[in-house]
Structure 1
Amino acid sequence: MSTTAEKLEQKLTNVLYGEPWYGTPIYTIMERVTFETAFEKPSHSAHNIAEIVLHMFSWTEEVMDRLNGVPAGVPVSGDWPPPGAPDEEKWKLWVSDFKLVNVNLVNVIRNFPADEWDQPINDTRGNEPVTTYAELVDGFIEHQVYHAGQIALLTRIING
């Protein structure tokens, strides 16, 4: 029987680079994005792809912090960090950093104490429903899939 950590690790790695049930994994979607496409913002779009990737990255860091006992809050780098001016090297670095931060998250999940998965996260804000560590990671995976879908759609809109 699989442990909670094993199930969550498998689910996360599957959506990142495996064969998720819904189609294309996140890394494949991101690797198809050129830096020009990443920084283009279609009219009526709330965010461009670069903004979405930075958002996904910052929330990966926030989830790791929470798994490490840091009280829940807004990510240190911000909820929607500004991407700044278009830059090809910066884009390549973000894609690489996104993969690296997910390697780190997988390690945190793998080493998380088994008896704490069903415990509530450290959330002193008082305005959020009680969330367990297992629910946090599961919801985070759904969050990443949602934004990967946005990236795929924006890429199709921009590139035709």
Structure 2
Amino acid sequence: MFTKALQLFKVARVEQLVIGPGAGSEESVHKAIFTLPSRAGRQRYGMAQFWAVWCKQQQAGKLMKEINRLLDQLRRAYDGDAWSGPSLQATLAGITAAQAAAHPLVGAHSIWEIVLHLHTWLEIVRRRLETNTLLGPTDDENWPPVPAEPTEAAWQQTQQQLRQAHEQLLAAVAGLYDADLDRLPEPQPGYPASTPGSTYVLLHGLVQHNQYHTGQLALLRKAFA
């Protein structure tokens, strides 16, 4: 009973920080996020509230902080108005399971394989942010195999997992301060630091990684036009 009451109190405190007096600042959002009783709750609530505050700041004409700029670039590359052309989601729109599993270019990965690879790196970057360690995927994790039965249901599930990983990454980035962008991750034994650098470099690298593979997907898609 006491635990339940404490959780309700914390949620009420979150509401006060987000919509009460003094709400709308980055500091109040961070206080709200870390008041929530569970990590999963912080991620879900934090992402929604961060974007609400972000929109409010833009409407008020405030300058974007660097974290906001990075979030904007990640969103544009995934499903927004990307400078380079169609976003990742726009490029995948209308692709069937049969097309996703096909190999129209000899020696090239399939659309499905690339999407699984993109999912892996969204997860890896999020875990690096949360642990501040230079975690890396195994070879099997880096390029996971396509399901043995590449059905439409399996293809939709793969795309849903990609969307969830993207949303979880945005929530993790939204939990950072600009000062966190200079952090250097702790190296891990046995994992080569192929892309060393700060959190800032890591996040820009992820945007570039998404755009690089989106270009590959666009070329593969042309084979089915």
State if a TM-score over 0.5 links the two structures: yes
Q: Deviations over 1:64-108 (max 9, x none)?
A: 000012522323661100113322111001111111111111111
TM-score when scaled to structure 1? 0.91
Give the aligned residue type for 1:106: L
1:113 aligns with 2:180: no
2:16 match: none
Q: Secondary structure at the match of 1:68?
A: helix
Counterpart-to-counterpart distance in 2, 1:103 and 1:127: 26
5+ unaligned residues in a row in structure 2: which ranges? Answer: 1-62
Stretches of 4+ aligned residues off by more than 6 angstroms: none
Counterpart-to-counterpart distance in 2, 1:23 and 1:127: 31
1:53 aligns with 2:115: yes
1:42 to 104, 110, 114: 104
Would the aligned equivalents of 2:147 and 2:154 in 1 still touch at CA under 8 Å?
no
5+ unaligned residues in a row in structure 1: which ranges? Answer: none
Counterpart-to-counterpart distance in 2, 1:6 and 1:147: 24
Counterpart-to-counterpart distance in 2, 1:97 and 1:128: 26
Higher helix share: 2
Q: Which fold has the larger relative contact order, with Cα–Cα distance below 8 Å and residues 6 or more apart in sequence? A: 1
Q: Secondary structure at the match of 1:78?
A: helix
The number of residues matched between the two structures is 159
Q: Deviations over 1:32-55 (max 9, x none)?
A: 211110000124232111110000
Q: Identity of aligned pairs, percent? A: 26
**Structure 1 residues 155, 113: closer, same or farther in 2, change over 3 A?**
same
Would the aligned equivalents of 2:184 and 2:197 in 1 still touch at CA under 8 Å?
yes
Query: Which structure would you say has the larger Rg?
Result: 2
Counterpart-to-counterpart distance in 2, 1:43 and 1:23: 22
Q: Which range is displaced more, 83-92 or 131-140? A: 83-92
